[in-house]
Amino acid sequence: MAEVEVETAGGLMIVAINRPQARNAANRAVATTIAEAMDELDRRNDLRVAIITGRGGTFCAGMDLKAFLRGELARIDGRGFAGLTEALPRKPLIAAVEGHALAGGFELALACDLIVAAENAQFGLPEVKRGLVANAGGLLRLPRQLPFRVAMEFVLTGAVVSAPELRKFGLINRVVAPGQALPQAVQLAEVIIQNGPMAVAASKRVMLEALDWPTTEMFALQRAITAPIFASRDAQEGARAFAEKRAPVWQNA
């Protein structure tokens, strides 16, 4: 049984951690497979969006502590925890969360562009309770995605919070019935897949990189990324399809 299952069809990649006996805690094998999947996602022009989820009713309980005690790290140099948190793909990534997304599991979700969660899903960074720190992105991304003091309390207490509570702060895109996180994430992915792939990738890049751009340079930096999109064949196709009242046929060029 594969510890990570990777499926591709119709422009969509689904990456499912499959270690239910360990609450989908990540080990080295999980990190390696996810890193390889993200490389494949960006390499293949027919793939437009990826979803990360977990089998067996939970998302990911973080680092496999038993593996950690054996000296096995669930990270890849240059890629981070689970082969992802320090090296994001160019294409959109959606987390479909059931059950628990704790510690590195929550950090894995925070690295995604969108989060769809079951209403009974639980999120937390309990590292401080174990004498550890959330250094797989939690300390860096959470203050950018939540109000600062809310994020600070989250980190310092190690509290576990429900999906509906986090939805109030805009951290989660959609809260759905239990068992529906993946189907709803697929529906969201299918909407994105209909859009121009170059435009989607460029838009994601600008939104992420602009967080660190000085205001005096931000439009020039944006122009360098977006100008090729306006000059692309896909831009012509999008306009032509609109005028002809038909669905566009993207060439990714």
* pLDDT at position 197 over 80: yes
pLDDT for 27 = 94
- Please say if 190 is a catalytic residue: no
> Residue 93: helix, strand or coil by DSSP?
strand
All structural domains of the chain, each given as residue ranges with its CATH number in brackets, are 4-193 (3.90.226.10), 197-244 (1.10.12)
What average pLDDT does this structure show over 71-85? 93
Helix (H) or strand (E) holding 5: strand 4-9
Provide the pLDDT for residue 68: 79
CA–CA dist 9, 150 (Å, integer): 39
- For residues 175 and 164, give the distance between their C-alpha atoms in angstroms, rounded to a whole number: 7
Residue 1 has pLDDT above 80, yes or no: no
Tens digit of pLDDT for each residue in 149-186? 999 999 999 999 999 999 999 999 999 999 999 999 99
- Whether 11 shows a pLDDT value over 90: the answer reads yes
Task: Provide the pLDDT for residue 70.
Answer: 86
Confidence of residue 40 (pLDDT cuts 50, 70, 90): very high
Of 36, 86, 127, 237, which is the active-site residue? 127
Active-site residue, 107 included = yes
- What is the pLDDT averaged over residues 15-44? 96
Catalytic-labelled residue, pool 107, 190, 209, 237 = 107
- Structure token digits, residue 234: 């896909």
